[in-house]
Amino acid sequence: MKQPSISCLDVKGFDFHREDLADLLHACVHDGASVGFVQPFSLENSRNFWINKVRPSLVNGETNLMIAKVGDEVAGTVQLCVGSMPNQAHRGEVSKLLVSPDFRKRGIAKILMAELEKQARDRDLTLITLDTRTGDNAEPLYKLLGYETAGVIPGFAQDPNDAGKFDPTSYMYKLL
């Protein structure tokens, strides 16, 4: 397998890869990822998320957006969000760790998380937090990477494919 290359995107890079990011999010949600969206979830919904939520946070410096490319394809992405209150300037939050269903089980999520932690250290952050659906495939990955579970909240988020089901979420953290 070709090794993925990791890039931290500025606004120009985001604009260049916007459609790739929309396709990636769309594919992951349709594959069952619990990342805030529910079915039906259109490609237009995905585009709107990237344009209306992520791009402004890149412009104002509250988000570091990383992508993993394999060849010319965007295989994964993750965001380090740092737009918080003054008493939380020492911490960042992991958001939208996504790996294309076509590129899973190749270590891409680990590589993206390593870059996210590097970016956090470069910003002098000492704590990273995240939440993930309890029992999801990502939870063991985070534990392997040294994240600890702070607690579980039952019924936290609607299942992306079942409007009548509410899944628990695990809140996790890592001290840098």
The domain segmentation of the chain, as residue ranges, is 5-175
Percent of the chain's residues with pLDDT above 90: 97
Model confidence at 1, pLDDT cuts 50, 70, 90, reads low
**Partners of 127 in the β-ladder:** 91, 175
Model confidence at 2, pLDDT cuts 50, 70, 90, reads confident
Out of 3.10.310.70, 3.30.420.40, 3.40.50.300, 3.40.630.30, select the CATH number for domain 5-175: 3.40.630.30
Q: Quote the tokens at residue 51.
A: 């344009």
- Could you tell me the pTM of the whole model? 0.96
pLDDT digits (tens, 9 = 90+) for 118-176: 999 999 999 999 999 999 999 999 999 999 999 999 999 999 999 999 999 999 999 99
**Residue 172 CB-half CA count within 13 A:** 23
Q: Quote the tokens at residue 22.
A: 């929309």
pLDDT digits (tens, 9 = 90+) for 88-104: 999 999 999 999 999 99
**3-class secondary structure, 77:** strand
Q: What share of the chain is helix, strand, coil (3-state, %, to 5)?
A: 35, 35, 25
How far is the CA of 116 from the CAs of 8, 79, 80, 137, 175, in angstroms?
9, 7, 6, 19, 13
Q: What is the spatial distance between Cα 10 and Cα 8, in angstroms, rounded to a whole number?
A: 7
Supply the pLDDT for residue 16.
98
Supply the pLDDT for residue 139.
96
